[in-house]
């Protein structure tokens, strides 16, 4: 088995939400972060900013085979799990209280390796039993020289 790695990276996260009555502009965040590999699992960690509305929150993205987990700690803790053709449920904490969210993952793909890459996730969410919204999450990881 290869040695584990730790590298400084530039993380670019783009999210877009679409629904029957809305088509939002993409939200983009670029942040300094870290790329880790432990065995066959990859981790990308970075701090959120005011731009995403999650200031004071640390995010770790875990890639384990074909499953992606987004784990947030700090002011807005949550955990979302994305696995192709799989539904999961989570509680999403906001300033207005907790919300129950059902995640229906449509596609997960990744080119993430020791030299960076991309994680691409298409999913739908239902919030408090309201109609689903389609979402596209794109995470690009670029190793810094």
**CATH code, 70:** 2.40.128.20
pTM of the model: 0.87
**Domain total in the chain:** 1
Distance separating alpha carbons of residues 97 and 49, to the nearest angstrom: 20
**36-88 per-position pLDDT tens digit:** 999 999 999 999 877 667 778 899 999 998 899 999 998 878 899 999 999 99
**13-43 per-position pLDDT tens digit:** 998 887 666 667 788 889 999 999 999 999 9
User: What are the backbone dihedrals phi and psi of residue 97, each rounded to the nearest 5 degrees, phi first?
Assistant: 120, 175
pLDDT value at residue 51? 67
Q: Which domain holds residue 97?
A: 5-143
What sign has the CA pseudo-torsion 36, 111, 119, 69? negative
Which of 119, 120, 127, 136 is CA-nearest to residue 103?
Answer: 127
């Amino acid at each position: 088995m290869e040695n584990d790695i730790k590298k400084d990276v530039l993380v670019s996260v783009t999210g877009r939400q679409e629904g029957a009555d809305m088509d939002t502009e993409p939200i983009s965040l670029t942040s300094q972060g870290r790329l880790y590999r432990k065995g066959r699992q990859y981790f990308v960690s970075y701090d959120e900013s005011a731009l995403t509305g999650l200031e004071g929150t640390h995010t770790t993205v875990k890639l384990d085979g074909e499953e992606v987990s987004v784990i947030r700690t700090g002011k807005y803790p949550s955990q979302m799990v994305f696995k192709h053709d799989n539904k999961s449920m989570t509680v999403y904490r906001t300033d207005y209280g907790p919300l129950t969210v059902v995640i229906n993952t449509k596609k997960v793909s990744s080119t993430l390796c020791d030299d960076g890459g991309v994680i691409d996730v298409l999913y739908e969410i239902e919030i408090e039993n309201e109609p689903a919204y389609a979402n596209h999450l794109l995470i690009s990881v670029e190793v810094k020289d």
